[in-house]
Amino acid sequence: MMPHDFSPAALIRAIEENFIESWAQFGRSGGELRREDGLVRIVSAIPHIPYNGVLHTAWPSSAAADAGIAAQAEYFQSRGKQMIWTVTPSTQPPDLAARLVQHGFSLLYELAGMAADLDCLPETPPLPPGVEIREVDDLAGLRQYTDLVVRKWRLPPDCGEWIFDLHQQWGVGADKSRRRWLACKDNVPVAKVFLSLAAGAAGIYGVSTAPEVRRQGIGGSAGRRAGRIPHRRAAFHRHGKGRVSELGL
């Protein structure tokens, strides 16, 4: 359980540690997870982002960074994998993002970290007509959740099977450390959210909504529902603040 320290430094640390531990599972589950030489790296069974890449970097100098970036880029290219490289407030050296660009990386997206005491989350506003939010608690719901993941990342169907099998290994239900919610409109899944209880925090990931029902508060409501975990008081966030860059292969 994370101490009740809500200072900016503590929240940044909680967000980063939860992200690393959550994404490390893709390497642990039939892939590769490396933690050494100032690097946390994952390689999964599928070649597409966001399931391969560098989660954390702590190198002593810019010279070490240049050598390390070149080595990692060559490694992922040799494996035929797309990759992401996560840059957060604790990343070292501080100019890593600029050096990634110099090595051919491009900015994929930039997200602001968000955190809150779960005891103080605002009430979920009323949902639009025909919309309900429910937790995934069986394999049929997990299949619907997986279909939304594939749609979001535009993955080939065979990758969807890998993602389904992986989440099935992790288990479904309220007693698990990884949980999922679906928002359905007229019984059709249109939004999803993933909750990871790792490193003493509750991390909200993968909040995505189908284009045809965006800007109705559906994804945000699903995220609030996932954050309302009984008897827990922890950080609530959607990814760490910083930059994530993609090297296309």
CATH no. of 118-232: 3.40.630.30
Burial class (CB within 10 angstroms; exposed 0-12, middle 13-18, buried 19+) of 5 = exposed
124 or 142, which is more confident?
A: 142
Residue 234 has pLDDT above 80, yes or no: no
Backbone phi, psi, residue 92, to 5°: -130, 140
Give the total residue count for the chain: 249
pLDDT in tens, 195-223: 999 998 889 998 999 999 999 999 989 98
Domain ranges of the chain: 8-115+239-247, 118-232
pLDDT in tens, 28-84: 988 999 999 999 999 999 999 999 999 999 999 999 999 999 999 999 999 999 999
Backbone phi, psi, residue 199, to 5°: 55, 35
Given CA atoms 170, 155, 190, 192 in this order, what sign does their dihedral have? Answer: positive
CATH no. of 8-115+239-247: 3.40.630.30
